[in-house]
Chains A and B, each alone.
Chain A
Amino acid sequence: MAVVNMVEAIRTALAREMERDERVILLGQDIGHNGGVFRATDGLQERFGEDRVVDMPLAEAVIVGSAVGLAASGLIPIPELQFLGFGSQAFHQIEGQVARMRFRSQGRYAMPMVIRAPFGGNVRTPELHSDAHEVKYVNSPGLKVAMPASAYDARGLLTEAIRDPDPVLFCEPLRGYRLIKDEVPDEDYTVPFGEARLARDGTDVALIAWSAAVSVALKAAELAAADGISCAVLDLRTLVPLDVTGLAELVARTGRAVVVHEAPLTGGFGAEVVATIQEEAFWSLEAPIGRVAAYDTPYPIASIEEHYIPSAERVLEAVRRVAREA
Chain B
Amino acid sequence: VVSVTTIEQAGLEPLTRLRPDGTLEDCYEPTLPEAELLAAFRLMLLTRAFDERAFSLQRQGRLGTFSPVTGQEASVVGSAWALDPARDWVVPQYRELPAMLRQGHSLDKVLLYFMGNPVGNRMDEGVNVLPVQISLAAQVPHAVGLAWGLRHQGRDGCVITYFGDGASSEGDVHEAMNLAGVRGAPVIFFLQNNGWAISTPVRKQTATPSFALRAAGYGFPGELVDGNDLLAVHEVTQRAVRRARAGEGPTMIESRTYRLGPHNTADDPTRYVDPDELNARRELDPIRRVRAYLRGRGLLDEEAEQRIETELREEVERAVRAAEAFAPAHSGQIFEHVYGRPPARVESQRRSVEGR
Contact = CB atoms under 8 A, between A and B. Distances in A.
Interface string A232-252: 000000001110110000000
A144 B118 CA distance: 23
Interface string B322-356: 00000000000000111111011110000000000
A194 B153 contact: no
Nearest to B155: A73
A242 B349 CA distance: 14
B147 interface: yes
B121 interface: yes
Contacts of A244: 344-345
A105 B152 CA distance: 23
A75 B153 contact: yes
B130 A72 contact: yes
Interface residues of A, number: 49
Nearest to A244: B345
Contact of A142 (B143, B144, B338): B338
A57 B152 CA distance: 18
B41 interface: no
A52 to B, nearest CB: 9
A86 interface: no
Given A65-B175, A194-B343, A109 B130 contact: yes
B179 A107 contact: no
Given A62-B175, A65-B176, A72 B149 contact: yes
Contact of B130 (A67, A105, A241, A242): A105
A56 B125 CA distance: 31
A97 interface: yes
Contacts, number: 153
Contact of B152 (A51, A71, A97, A144): A51
Contacts of A68: 141-142, 145
B298 interface: no
A94 B285 CA distance: 40
A70 interface: yes
Interface in B112-150: 118-119, 121-123, 125, 130-131, 135, 138, 140-150
A82 interface: no
B4 to A, nearest CB: 24
A136 to B, nearest CB: 17
Of B123, B143, B146, B182, most buried by chain A (CB within 10 Å of CB) is B146
A61 interface: yes
Given A69-B146, A73-B152, A241 B344 contact: yes
Contacts of A194: 343-344
Interface in A75-113: 75, 77, 92-93, 96-97, 100-110, 112
Nearest to B91: A69
A105 B178 contact: no
A194 B342 CA distance: 10
A325 B149 CA distance: 59
Nearest to B150: A73
Nearest to B343: A241
Contacts of A109: 130-131
Given A106-B122, A241-B345, A69 B148 contact: yes
Nearest to B348: A244
Nearest to A22: B153
B141 A66 contact: yes
A165 B122 contact: no
B119 A106 contact: yes
A188 B165 CA distance: 51
B51 interface: no
A317 B296 CA distance: 89
A62 B179 contact: yes
Given A142-B339, A166-B339, A194-B343, A107 B122 contact: yes
Given A67-B145, A92-B138, A107-B122, A61 B175 contact: yes
B341 A164 contact: yes
A192 B130 CA distance: 31
Nearest to A107: B337
Contacts of A166: 339-341
B156 interface: no
A65 B172 contact: yes
Contacts of B171: 61
A62 B345 contact: no
A287 to B, nearest CB: 26
A141 interface: yes
Interface string A146-175: 000000000000000000111000000000
A147 to B, nearest CB: 15
30 contacts: A57-B182, A59-B175, A61-B171, A64-B141, A65-B175, A66-B144, A66-B176, A66-B179, A68-B141, A69-B141, A69-B142, A69-B147, A72-B130, A72-B142, A73-B146, A73-B152, A73-B153, A96-B138, A97-B135, A97-B138, A102-B340, A103-B118, A105-B123, A106-B121, A141-B346, A144-B343, A166-B341, A194-B343, A240-B343, A242-B345
Interface of B: 91, 118-119, 121-123, 125, 130-131, 135, 138, 140-150, 152-153, 155, 159, 171-172, 175-176, 178-179, 182, 336-341, 343-346
